[in-house]
Chains A and B, each alone.
Chain A
């Protein structure tokens, strides 16, 4: 991996307080991301992917118990910024977000155009309202949303159109980094492909960095430069995307790749036996032990995430 130019996350933890106990949704996650690159975070449902996105964006629910670690954005530790400075200096102008449920992420009673233009005015990126609207129109046309959609309301748009509007909103302020939390999971396959192509185009055109959170390994492959595989709140493998798709190392990554149906090869998709562990009381030692086929006695102790070769990092005793 090259230098971690844009973003460096170190030992990020996000634990929630619930009635049943402490949920360790993000537990000591570290990674880096260079400018213009895309990090894909893959994992099963409930592995803490979305919580990771929230932790980076500081969009926390009310029941946060622990929120620690360091997040360097352009060399500045944004975890240290106060709420108001974080809002003024980081939110949207540097760090934008495309949420999972884009369907409900637009204000139902404010025109789409005003919502796209809103952050430009809030962060003084546009001097006048008409300038902000003009830039919003630009952003909308960039994502394939006709200009007249600006004067419509969210309920008059289809799901795919709303998703495009949200992406336009994220791009209008030209942030360095956009976090996309399963941006296509609520859409049909054709729209998914359209949105993915759109993101690819934007990435090439503007050198925007993305963190793409997804469980859809197949569609994410088009965009990914770096892959982080999450399991039970931890990153178990961090590598170049092509390495992950071709030759995964961690037993869990191998199982994940094997579960993806393939178009050209005649192999049956496999499944991973068992259930992911509860994040309430994650097992001691390696968290994948219970479902791992190559487990041994060593696995009772937690393996470190160590560099194996060519900058690849794997959290498994097999590669120590």
Chain B
């Protein structure tokens, strides 16, 4: 048994590790536009060098034939410093090695608020903002939706049930769409809540005031996220619970005279725990990534906006760094899920043919 478990875990680890390698390498290729970003960066270097040369009194006076080679030399030197002289394909693999060993390197343009170019520091600086916002919103969304869905599955066909189903298409619009309207109503018209940002400027000194200010700034973005997803989430969970509460064993539990709470707990929630846990895990991963447009709309200093800025500036190391962190989180979650499944569902057995005594 021990050997089988070890082998199983090893196989899962290898296959998931392979997925990370492929995913990260594809990200490197895409973020660099298959090497085309190099051309853009070379052009940027040439432009910068040329401007520098023209700004230099002595060099500007030189005739064109003498000036050109100087510019070329300076460009070549700068390209060599940045490693642009080697072919992209070769460099792509050294990028891959760095990325996988979490040696995220330095950003090309972006800096952290403290002024560092270390991508690790930039990411770490943005992470708390994103986590605060999305953890609140997603946890609210997840447990709220499941709770309401359980309630509705008991009241199938009621007016409340029909109303929520009718509202489900509202989730077709993204969260930033609702964000704009919320800003219009609560910040512009009613002037109750701030337009955006994470805390008021300058940030309050005391911890309590800081927290209160943060909460006040969080209301609108959290509301936008929740509104944009809650109805479809309730709808799908409700249908999920309806399907699983029409199982024969649920009816049997009713015939046995169990209370409706006991039926819900032991006969609906327990057997459906694996998909619920899966959803929860993916929700957890989702809250680490932030949301590009929502954070931009609310001027929220999170990872989403960082990614937006990095893409706009062709800052590929930042993009790759963010994706690598995300990929590792995803794979770790999947790996843990495999183990949790085997714990909550007796039908999932590690390996096969082995039966408990």
Contacts and interface: CB of A to CB of B under 8 A. Distances in A.
A57 B254 CA distance: 10
Nearest to A148: B357
Interface stretch (A92-100, A197-205, A242-250, A310-318): A92-100
Interface stretch (A7-15, A102-110, A231-239): A102-110
Interface string B234-258: 0000000000000111011111111
B257 A93 contact: yes
B53 to A, nearest CB: 74
A118 interface: yes
Interface string B321-349: 00000000000000000000000111100
Interface in A85-137: 87-88, 90-93, 96-97, 99, 101, 104-110, 118-119, 122-123
Given A108-B271, A153-B347, A155-B347, A88 B257 contact: yes
B167 to A, nearest CB: 22
Given A107-B267, A107-B270, A59 B254 contact: yes
B86 interface: no
Interface string B154-167: 00110000000000
Interface residues of B, number: 25
B252 A97 contact: yes
A104 B253 CA distance: 12
B255 A59 contact: yes
Interface string A46-63: 000000000001010010
A264 to B, nearest CB: 39
Given A97-B252, A105-B249, A110-B266, A87 B259 contact: yes
B255 A122 contact: no
Contacts of B346: 108-109, 153, 155
Contacts, number: 72
B24 to A, nearest CB: 37
A57 to B, nearest CB: 6
Nearest to B271: A109
Nearest to B272: A109
Given A92-B256, A110-B266, A99 B248 contact: yes
Given A106-B249, A122-B262, A97 B255 contact: yes
Nearest to A94: B257
B256 A91 contact: yes
B355 interface: yes
Contacts of B257: 87-88, 90-93, 119, 122-123
Interface residues of A, number: 29
A123 B257 CA distance: 8
A169 interface: yes
B248 A105 contact: yes
B34 to A, nearest CB: 49
A87 B253 CA distance: 11
Contacts of A88: 257
A222 interface: no
A108 B258 CA distance: 17
B344 A109 contact: yes
Interface in B209-253: 247-249, 251-253
A169 B156 CA distance: 30
Interface in A206-234: none
A107 B254 contact: no
Nearest to A152: B356
A156 interface: yes
B255 A110 contact: no
Contacts of A91: 254-257
Contacts of B258: 118-119, 122
Given A59-B251, A122-B262, A153-B347, A107 B256 contact: no
A47 B31 CA distance: 67
Nearest to B242: A62
A99 B271 CA distance: 20
Contact of A104 (B156, B248, B256, B270): B248
A301 B266 CA distance: 52
A110 B251 CA distance: 15
B319 to A, nearest CB: 43
Interface in B95-143: none
A290 B19 CA distance: 67
Interface in B245-301: 247-249, 251-259, 262, 266-267, 270-271, 273
12 contacts: A62-B156, A97-B252, A99-B252, A104-B248, A105-B249, A107-B253, A107-B266, A107-B271, A108-B346, A122-B262, A155-B346, A169-B256
Given A108-B346, A109-B344, 9 more contacts: A91-B255, A99-B248, A99-B251, A104-B247, A104-B249, A109-B273, A109-B345, A155-B346, A169-B256
